[in-house]
Amino acid sequence: MRMRGIKVTAVVLGLAAGAPLTRISGQPAFPFQNPDLPLQERVEDLVSRMTLEEKASQMQDWARAIPRLGIPEYGWWNECLHGVARAGTATVFPQAIGLAATFDTDLMLQVAAAISDEARAKHHEFVRNGKRKRYQGLTYWSPNVNIFRDPRWGRGQETYGEDPYLAARMGVAFVRGLQGDDPEYLKLVATPKHYAVHSGPEPERHRFDAAADRRDLYETYLPAFKAAVTEAGAGSVMGAYNRTNGEACCAHRQLLGEILRGEWGFKGYVVSDCGAIEDIWRGHRLARTEAEASALAVKTGCDLDCGREYRSLTEAVKTGLITEAEIDAAVKRLFEARFRLGLFDPPERVAWARIPFEKNDCPEHRALALEAARRSMVLLKNTDGFLPLPRNLKAILVTGPNADEASVMFGNYNGTPSSSVTPLAGIRSAASPGTAVMFAPGCDWTREDPAAAAAAVDSARKADAVVFVGGISPRLEGEEMRVDAPGFLGGDRTDIRLPAVQTGLLQALHGTGKPVVLVLLTGSAIAVPWEHDHLRAILAAWYPGQAGGTALADVLFGDFNPAGRLPVTFYRSNDQLPPFEDYRMEGRTYRYFTGEPLYPFGFGLSYTTFEYAGLEVPKTAVPAGRSAVITVTVRNTGEIPGDEVVQLYLKDIEASTPRPIRSLKGFRRVHLNPGESKTVSFTITPEDLSLIDASGAWTVEPGVFEAAVGPSSADLRLKAAFTIAG
């Protein structure tokens, strides 16, 4: 049979293997099978033909096949936080927090496009082999745009840091890269999560109520979600486990109804976090039964259950808890997504379906993973220009618990690379032929080993320099996990200091008189005050992905000039933190913290130097509701090429309500050769100047604002005031 000159087969239509294909006189059996009809007409036709039981079966993360309608089974659950995960070999990029440290939205777009290439290639290969299970579909539960408000949260590694503007810009780039730019078909469906006020504690998430006032909600917790939905057009959103202000996030009238679908005009579908519908009645006790919880969630806007609780929706209809029409609205949104992905259309019509399987783990993507890892490295200390290491060293000791642990480099929600390079392997490969590279682990992440420590110290005495690769591990911080180690609880941290066993070994290594470089593999801020005061150099490498060892060696030996910036504040100790369970932003992050951090948000050193000049702000008052342009010129005053991350911060001088100390409102990563200058321009929108006033409404107040630019939130080289007119 042919339709519009295209041969139609079960695979072409996306049917399950062996499913019947019903045709009448060479034409589609049902209108929804006709790709030339309008999308909404196809959706309406399909849903009208389904029974209540069939509809409920499509609202769970594994949707059953409906053979009589030619509908194949479908697995909604897929992961691609920093590479396609849990679906075989794939390119593994730096963990999300490391991607945020690049401060590079163009790079983020490239990374997300590469990830979606691999996701599409994998999906079509699975279908060709009759596979349609979990981790084989096209709807992906990424990115995580929650605000990393407290360094103790174990899942902060999955986010883009503590700042709502940075999280929004990175999130928008990632969503666009996943979903593609085709006017008719989505490449993938992106799912910003976990909507909306969610950042620990992990052990309490199934029953915890994260309380946030309107100002913190709108000015901190929501902006990244809003940008992902309204600017990038995210096709779905995932709700969080916890409650917010008394209501479960996956059944929240304000979050899902008033804000997401009302204020933002969201037309896509909402999915629960996995097991969160069960939490509504078992954990939060907001419903008495599974059916009651399911009905509540659907009625308030949660269309898809990651779990099996929505099987009870048939009972809920029969007992009057929900109407079939309310279920229809959710099912239509789900099938609209599947139609927009081209899952019911001939692949010849869907450009994304022609991505070859060879795109998976291809040389271009491996090169991009290396470049992303290089750009994510943040140089925190470099006494007297000790780095880069000279090439003529006779011996280097590489030590520390993360020096030769490949799995640590991948972070959580990771894929499986075809190959990877550990820090030890990278250093060995990059060192000069005449340099001996010794290795001694020295210690575990948190446990002492006196014999191993003694061996490391003995080797250090024979070395010209020591590279200690320590930090923590995704085995210690992450999502609701069992951890039996001092300073860690349930995936979170109870102490943000470097584990004591590592500091103790570093002190012994320092005592040999040999220069020590500390490399931190981590998904969050680590307090290293002693290390800062005594060691020659410190580098934050995050969880850098499959090419992390090569990227690290490139930075250590000067083949790449580091320019990553901190997407989070590095505090000195727990003493500087408010209670973990307190979701008020007062005293948190660089925007509200009044103390002296160890390393400030936006901080990062370079092997060259930069000069700022010529800051220009509007000379006349800007009418409220209009945008403003701010420019500054940056020059490389050093002797080698390098990147500078130019950062613009605003401060509201005359606000009528409490305001942040300052807020990031623009950043640009620019490459400059020695002596080269570039003028960087930022456009400030009315939204950038808005606040929640005393009545709870968004407004742009007339008054004076201060614009400040520099290489970090604490190193603002130039400042100038401008006025917003009433």
Q: Which ranges in 576-713 belong to alpha helices (H)?
A: 589-592, 686-689
Q: Name the nearest CA neighbour of 170 among 121, 243, 109, 113.
A: 109
Task: Spot the catalytic one: 273, 303, 309, 492.
Answer: 273
| Structural tokens at position 83 | 């590479």
Closest CA to 650 of 698, 591, 597, 601: 591
Are the CB atoms for 537 and 383 separated by under 8 Å? yes
In the chain, the N- to C-terminal Cα span, in Å, equals 68
Residue 129: C-alpha distances to residues 11, 66, 515 (Å): 10, 19, 56
3-state secondary structure of 411: coil
Q: Which residues pair with 6 in a beta bridge?
A: 3
Of these residues, 477, 531, 643, 652, which one is catalytic?
477
Cβ–Cβ contacts within 10 Å for residue 676, how many? 12
C-alpha count within 13 angstroms, C-beta hemisphere, residue 167: 28
Instruction: Name residues whose C-beta falls within 8 Å of residue 265's C-beta, 6 or more positions apart in sequence.
Output: 230
Asked if omega into 347 is within 30° of 0 (cis), the reply is no
Q: Is 484 a catalytic residue?
A: no
**Greatest pairwise CA separation for the chain in angstroms:** 87
Helices 363-376, 548-556: inter-axial angle, 10-degree rounding: 50
Whether 510 contacts 359, CB under 8 Å: no
| Residue 216 tokens, joined | 């913190």
Give the Cα-Cα-Cα angle 36, 38, 39 (nearest 5 degrees). Answer: 110
CA angle 681, 683, 684 (to 5 degrees): 135
Are the beta carbons of 577 and 496 closer than 8 angstroms? Answer: yes
Known catalytic membership, residue 273:
yes
The Cα–Cα gap between 587 and 721 comes to: 26
Nearest C-alpha neighbor of 269 from the set 312, 230, 239: 239
DSSP helix/strand/coil, 514: coil
Q: What are phi and psi of 21, to 5 degrees?
A: -115, 105
Backbone angles phi, psi at 299, to 5 degrees: -65, -30
Buried-exposed string 204-234: b where 16+ CB fall within 10 A, e elsewhere = bbbebbbbbeebbbbbbbbbbbbbbbeebbb
Measured CA angle at 618 (ends 617, 621), to 5 deg: 140
Positions marked catalytic:
273, 477
